[in-house]
Amino acid sequence: MPRKKIELENHVESLSILDADGNADESLVPKLEPAEMRKLLRGMLLARRYDERMLKLQRQGRIGTYGPALGQEAASLGPAYVLSKNDWMIPSFREPAGMLYRGWPMDKLILWWGGNETGSSVPEGIRDTPICVPVASQCLYGAGVAWGCKLRGDGTVALCFVGDGGTSEGDFHEAMNVAGAFNLPLVCVIQNNQWAISLPRKKQTASSTLAQKALAYGFNGIQVDGNDIFAVLTAAGEAVDRARRGGGPTLIEAVTYRLGVHTTADDPKKYRTEDEVEAWKCRDPLARYYKYLKKHGILDDKARDMMEEEIAEEITAAVEKAERYEPDVLEPWRYCFATMPNFLEGQLEEFQAYLESVSGGEGRSNHKRSELSENVH
């Protein structure tokens, strides 16, 4: 058999529509009504201002460690925007824009970052999983959910997010292999923000792109400008439509940048330069998109100022609501098992006795085991 080059069935593309100055290739701009375009800006702006407030709350000791998504708003909102309510989204922890758009109450997200597990309870009617931190585990959950979508045959799609560092994990490759082998309706978005904490993308892999990793598993990949909301919307929309029609998975590499810290426990000045950060600030997804809207008469400074005021009030109300929340100290017994095991019944009685001893028999210590059994799920 002669030696020859193997032609692969699948391919990798790149896509960019909107430049840093707000100019776009109009032939590629998604067909959106002006109201939809304003809605997209508001979604990114809400996520940006939420991020800024969360950083302040953390510095004030009012929440725990926080992982901001500053500069990555388009890569989060775009994919979420093209999903239907019946589709599934599996976020990592830099997807506030997508989660807020999907209907998560902001106070619930604040409670999650404050260490309260009620923040992990998915709101009624939302087909999402909670914030998930373990690196690349989101891909396995996404593949599992997508498999369920295929088995049900209801035309629903699963969308998962992972960082560039996650593509070095076995979980990512196992999930992609399953997605390809079983032709699952899965869209995997890599938020390539250039840094896996302190490890640069160039040390993650020898691949020219992360999108090309899809080829090894038998499906298409596309690299998009992750700071270009139009490019992200287009790529994600095509991938979701293809998955819904039975065309299988797609891997999207959204090339973006983490403008802030990895988390509030991190000091990025120890591993990257300010010049690098400043260069990426010129590609800010919010700034370039607003320039486009302003040039086309879709939004002006006055309307944006009103939007800012509304968002500030919304965030303040959410913070106040979250900080009024009173946790139920008996939640560990309520939500671990459908039917409480005998060994936990004993622990519950012991804990209730302790609560009564320190509170004089008042307050939450008055919860009885029978009440817990009625409410457990």
Q: What angle do CA 25, 31, 34 make, to 5 degrees?
A: 100
Annotated active-site residue 271? The verdict is: yes
Decide: 354 and 330 in contact? Cβ < 8 Å: no
3-state secondary structure of 36: helix
Q: Which two tokens stand for residue 284?
A: 């800010």
- Residue 128 DSSP label: B
Annotated active-site residue 258? The verdict is: yes
Q: How many of the other CB atoms lie within 10 Å of CB of 22? A: 16
Decide: 236 and 187 in contact? Cβ < 8 Å: yes
Annotated active-site residue 262? The verdict is: yes
3-state secondary structure of 363: helix
The active-site residue, picked from 48, 258, 288, 367, is: 258
The active-site residue, picked from 53, 262, 283, 288, is: 262
Q: How many of the other CB atoms lie within 10 Å of CB of 52? A: 14
From CA 16, how far away is CA 25, in angstroms rounded?
Answer: 9
Q: Which amino acid is at 170?
A: G
Decide: 212 and 242 in contact? Cβ < 8 Å: no
The active-site residue, picked from 59, 271, 354, 364, is: 271
Q: Which two tokens stand for residue 196?
A: 């896996």
The strand ranges marked E within the chain are 12-15, 88-90, 158-163, 186-192, 195-196, 199-200, 220-225, 250-255
Residues with a catalytic annotation lie at 258, 262, 271
